[in-house]
Structure 1
């Protein structure tokens, strides 16, 4: 057995996983996001670590009751943001969440001066205000003393690993955005210099080698109720962990994480991007040699569903009948799903992208509005997956995949079967899979992939949505010049 831990933005989960990929027991606890003026979104590292201790201890208690030996502790969690620590692993100020927007001014300046384009040409990664690069630059300008007090500028997963093992490290997946040469698994010094951050290069821990395991310290072992020296696996972070946990196996396979936003990922056997193309998306190193993830992290997802349900006065429990009450095409209503205040970042970058409904009439029903928005999000998923290089099988996970009706729309729009794992904790699954690889005891990936339900596309709907998708792309092309006319204050 392995204990897989997924430290999300608002929930920490721990699962006791067997070699079939099944969770024997799962416990979770909520974390706190602290929001403040100026777009600040922060977390307290001590509270996050305590959340891990609480859920792991609960799992350990049940494992002992069932006499199940624990082989390793596998940790994954949220990526991006900035988690500053000292040599002992104590936080140097609160952690800056990936949702933090204080560096928006840096992003605007970098867009105007060409820094974003320079970094993209060197690494293939498009930055956003919650990624480590602009957050570091913001602190260098506004709080340099805080950076002087820090020994490491890392991420959530490696912050927890430092507390539990005493090691300063980082997984290559976390380090990928924005300064890693992903193929070489080393930092691009030119990209760091382009961002004006060479003076803070020593804060960036070098990525851990493939297959690296760490040892649980005696102090952490007492806290967690685990043996001292137990192997600890650090990463990959939640996006790639979900990809592997959901069943991605061969180059060209894709995974769709239908969460608050969409995580659209395709496994590739080489890093291949157009340095003069859209500075969107990112390339991630993975736990497998010569395997990379082309990732398009769109800003649309279940947040769109929540909004449209609120707008029509419905609850999530009414989603299935609402989608069933409107046929494909939503009674002539179509939508663009760009509702985020931050606009869109994949597969194109438009900070002022905004949503719309068209084709409304007095006969339009609440069900039509809900279906139109769900179809628009599915079109966005196809746009992102195809841009990332999708040619193979598609798996899906996240809260949106729980809906049978919405899963059917995704399958029909993609024109491919959608494979949805029975186990919802795919992040912990992916982390455990990585840990077993590092222990030299790889699991049967084919068997793990069989534990999924398959949503088959309906041929007539596929044909209909093929036309709808082309119209969706045309609508974006018409809207982009309008979005670039920035609103006046």
Structure 2
């Protein structure tokens, strides 16, 4: 570890998730010393909307930093630098006075689906994918801005800058309008040079809104000082260097070990969504024929992560547990979600492996990896009268693992080793199912807050604590990786046989999903017409 020019001995990493904002303090060698969290709220609508108050999100971030100061004495004077990452995709519009232009559209928002369908049928779709390395979907700012331009043009007319979540927080922390190379290049640019690409912007129909895209800043090289206004709100010192992290997916993977120089290694984050990625040089990226997945820059020269993401991972587990909790509540038995989570490994052990197929597309936004279909929905195949609740739980967990394999298959060969992060990685049973399905040993990092750590690592390099990211990884990441857990051979052989059936069923179900979605839209339109008629007659 090198010395740095500042006086502080603490680095703060901010990780602004969809439902929780965390502020985490690390010492300069990467040891986590304190953490504070504030719940973040979002709203959904019947029209597929998923929005978040921009003002509340900043207030929650400032509150988390104040709480961190309450837990760590002298934090303001001890802080050498701050770094911020956050939920990816989405559209956070601010005006010329840096005030919100309405609520943010989140990555969960599905309203842009018709615009995605239109853009993907146009001539520039493949060229856009080859530049960004990223399939267009309803989550992304490019698709959302194109849809806003067609349906709510006043929002863009009132905006001075289009940001992502972490960029919005960075604006409030520093007053600087900026975004990072990862989100800029996979949305509007080229992953090879990490810059905006005017041809990509043209294919999205956003040439007239090019001025809304902020400067691209690499947080390992450039920082901005904490503003006096932000200092008052957070309790930290004005002038403290602030680093803009990359998108949360790669920050989490970086902190969990996706890039340690080991060839064939991959990293899966099993959280609300499933994020499956492998670190490769930009020249080694393999783009598929289906225009799906992401290529997201790492804060390491020339290196990117090739990514496939599931819209829903543990959201499926939450659903099956909530079904059980609801039934118990109807019988007068109250149990907590935590109680049910503690039973998962037991239920897994009581169910026969591979007895059912489950496709884990529980999200209202459908699926985005390794295929894009906003109408995709979850379902069980193979149920019989002899199956019980543990069989459903095991099928859901196996479905998550099959979806992970589906994603890695789209990127090439299966990983030689899988690093896991996310809350579900604490389940030994789930780790065993993932290991057997992928056919590779798994390792779990002891790092508690990988996303915040990844951001803080960027700040550590930016202020000179380390000369480069490789040196920082050597101290912050590699020593925290646990022992390799090898797959059970019999279970691995079973899942190897089951996977082609899982994939074939997924393809066969697509027309069923589409037909059901058509019926839902017809019912919704009918209800809207009936409501309008009722207002008219009154």
1:416 aligns to what? 440
Aligned with 1:398 (options 422, 446, 471): 422
Any conservation in 2 of the 1:168–1:205 contact (CA below 8 Å)?
yes
Q: Residue 122 and residue 452 in structure 1: after superposition, are their counterparts in 2 closer, same or farther (change >3 A)?
A: closer
SS for the counterpart of 2:305 is strand
How far the C-alpha of 1:233 sits from its partner, in A, is 0.9
How far the C-alpha of 1:155 sits from its partner, in A, is 0.7
| Cα distance in 1 for residues equivalent to 2:435 and 2:286 | 29
Any conservation in 2 of the 1:88–1:166 contact (CA below 8 Å)?
no
**2:433 is the alignment partner of 1:377:** no
Q: Residue 290 and residue 274 in structure 1: after superposition, are their counterparts in 2 closer, same or farther (change >3 A)?
A: closer
Superposed CA RMSD:
2.3
How far the C-alpha of 1:222 sits from its partner, in A, is 2.6
1:460 aligns to what? 490
Any conservation in 2 of the 1:337–1:355 contact (CA below 8 Å)?
yes
Any conservation in 2 of the 1:84–1:153 contact (CA below 8 Å)?
yes
SS for the counterpart of 1:342 is coil
1:347 aligns to what? 370
| Cα distance in 2 for residues equivalent to 1:4 and 1:11 | 14
Any conservation in 1 of the 2:182–2:194 contact (CA below 8 Å)?
no
**2:306 is the alignment partner of 1:306:** no
SS for the counterpart of 2:57 is helix
**2:292 is the alignment partner of 1:277:** no
1:470 aligns to what? 500
| Cα distance in 2 for residues equivalent to 1:14 and 1:225 | 13
Count residues in correspondence: 487
How far the C-alpha of 1:223 sits from its partner, in A, is 2.2
Any conservation in 1 of the 2:110–2:374 contact (CA below 8 Å)?
no
1:211 aligns to what? 221
| Cα distance in 1 for residues equivalent to 2:217 and 2:290 | 30
| Cα distance in 2 for residues equivalent to 1:142 and 1:336 | 33
1:446 aligns to what? 474
SS for the counterpart of 1:351 is coil
Aligned with 2:62 (options 53, 57, 80): 53
> What does the per-residue CA deviation read over 1:355-376, in whole Å, with 9 as the maximum and x for residues that have no partner?
3323322221221121122112
Aligned with 1:148 (options 157, 164, 170): 157
Runs of 4+ in 1 over 6 A off after TM superposition: none
> What does the per-residue CA deviation read over 1:123-171, in whole Å, with 9 as the maximum and x for residues that have no partner?
2211211211121112222332322221111111111111111111111
| 463-472 vs 305-314, which moves further | 305-314
| 65-74 vs 77-86, which moves further | 65-74
Any conservation in 1 of the 2:312–2:363 contact (CA below 8 Å)?
yes
Gaps of 5+ in 2: 1-9, 329-339, 520-538
How far the C-alpha of 1:252 sits from its partner, in A, is 3.8
Q: Residue 103 and residue 184 in structure 1: after superposition, are their counterparts in 2 closer, same or farther (change >3 A)?
A: same
2:532 aligns to what? none
Gaps of 5+ in 1: none
SS for the counterpart of 1:71 is strand
How far the C-alpha of 1:272 sits from its partner, in A, is 4.9
| 305-314 vs 211-220, which moves further | 305-314
Q: Residue 19 and residue 386 in structure 1: after superposition, are their counterparts in 2 closer, same or farther (change >3 A)?
A: farther
| Cα distance in 2 for residues equivalent to 1:273 and 1:477 | 25
How far the C-alpha of 1:207 sits from its partner, in A, is 1.3
1:364 aligns to what? 387
**2:312 is the alignment partner of 1:296:** no
Aligned with 2:244 (options 234, 241, 263): 234
| Cα distance in 2 for residues equivalent to 1:276 and 1:334 | 26
1:316 aligns to what? 341
SS for the counterpart of 2:380 is strand
How far the C-alpha of 1:273 sits from its partner, in A, is 5.4
SS for the counterpart of 1:98 is coil
How far the C-alpha of 1:204 sits from its partner, in A, is 0.6
How far the C-alpha of 1:12 sits from its partner, in A, is 0.5
Q: Residue 366 and residue 61 in structure 1: after superposition, are their counterparts in 2 closer, same or farther (change >3 A)?
A: closer
| Cα distance in 1 for residues equivalent to 2:54 and 2:378 | 36
1:81 aligns to what? 90
SS for the counterpart of 1:121 is helix
Aligned with 1:262 (options 242, 267, 274): 274
SS for the counterpart of 1:64 is coil
Any conservation in 2 of the 1:126–1:178 contact (CA below 8 Å)?
no
